[in-house]
Amino acid sequence: MALNCGIVGLPNVGKSTIFSALTSAPAEAANYPFCTIDPNVGIVQVPDTRLDRIAQLIPPEKVIPAAVEFVDIAGLVAGASSGEGLGNRFLAHIRETGIIAHVVRCFDDEDVVHVAGSVDPARDIETIQVELALADLETVDKRMARLEKEKKSNDRELARKALAQDAVLSVLRAKLEEGTGTRNAGLTPEQLAVISDLHLITAKPQLYVCNVDESDLTDGNEYVAQVRAIAEAEGADSVVLCGSLESEIAALETAEERAEFLSEAGLEESGLNRLIRTAYGQLGLRTFFTAGPKEVRAWTFREGSTAPQAAGIIHSDFERGFIRAETYHCDDLFEYRSEAALRQAGKLRSEGREYVVRDGDVMHFRFNV
């Protein structure tokens, strides 16, 4: 799975505004459809209070956070799967992302044109879902046509695989015709594995981003309730934020100014922070740390990685010549306040090649090449 998050939605729902605030770099934003044609790509720091706490206890020369990539994809409209708007180009961009952050307009504003003439989150979500399902239907039809030849092949293994894939695609095709995406088609993990090479858009994890007025940030509104109900039914996450407010926060120069602004707005943290962490988690990404006098750094790894694989993220030589990992969990550091105290308490461990790294581990790798 690609390690990035694509931001999608109808035109004028606030995608580019949110992207600009995420990256603190301006993306095109205007009060008309299709102002974003080519996708904007931004590398976004992952907010993690653990990193700052480690740096307080092990003071370094510099602190380096983890990062995740966001892609701002132009607005989809009804008919995108058949080329309406700039449909096919946009759908190709979505296909290249790891997860989808679906921005839904949950505010009323007569000065901001809605492409359908009114605000209706359930309708808007269905529009996007149907277009993505239809795009996948085209992909499935092309594969099934190819499988007709492969099922008759003299190569028994090829024929066997073709029959297995065709059986799954036949079930999925009926669902896609109804506008139901792959995630919600009731396929088993084994069935999904059989068709994984198609990289279907509707198989990607999805989270919903409710873009609201500032006045609705705390309690939400009827639009947010609609989105949350849809997300819950799908087993998806949802995040509520105010794009215009996030833009104001992003424009502030210092962390102190941003903290003061949030406090005055009655908020504990930025909605974008929640969005970034949620996307990071849904991508299956986790964080381990390295800590020393030169730098305290957050490193991104895939959930389930072993110690040598994590070492290879720092440098391929670390993985190739891996001997062991000296590690402890950051929570233990916060409790004991120093590595010396951790060692005395027996919390500093030596782990071998089979160790599965945990989110929050602080690691020092021993290697020899």
Query: What is the tens place of the pLDDT at every residue in 261-302?
Result: 999 988 989 999 999 999 999 999 999 999 999 999 999 999
pLDDT at 75: 64
Neighbours of 46 (CB within 10 A): 19
CATH code of the domain occupying 4-282: 3.40.50.300
CB atoms within 10 A of CB 202: 23
Q: How do the domains of the chain map onto residue ranges?
A: 4-282, 304-367
* Residues 314/273, Cβ–Cβ less than 8 Å: no
Give whole-number Cα distances, 72 to 44, 164, 193, 225, in Å.
12, 36, 28, 25
356 DSSP 8-state letter: B
Whether residue 29 has pLDDT greater than 90: no
pTM, 2 dp: 0.88
What the block records as the tokens of 66 is 């983890």
pLDDT score of 147 more than 80 = yes
* 47-73 confidence digits (pLDDT tens): 999 999 999 999 999 999 999 999 888
pLDDT tens string 213-247: 999 998 999 999 999 999 999 999 999 999 999 99
Over residues 161-176, mean pLDDT: 96
**What percent of the chain is modeled with pLDDT above 70?**
91
- CATH fold for the domain made of 304-367: Ubiquitin-like (UB roll) (3.10.20)
Mean of the per-residue pLDDT values for the chain? Answer: 90
CA 227/CA 104 separation, integer angstroms: 8
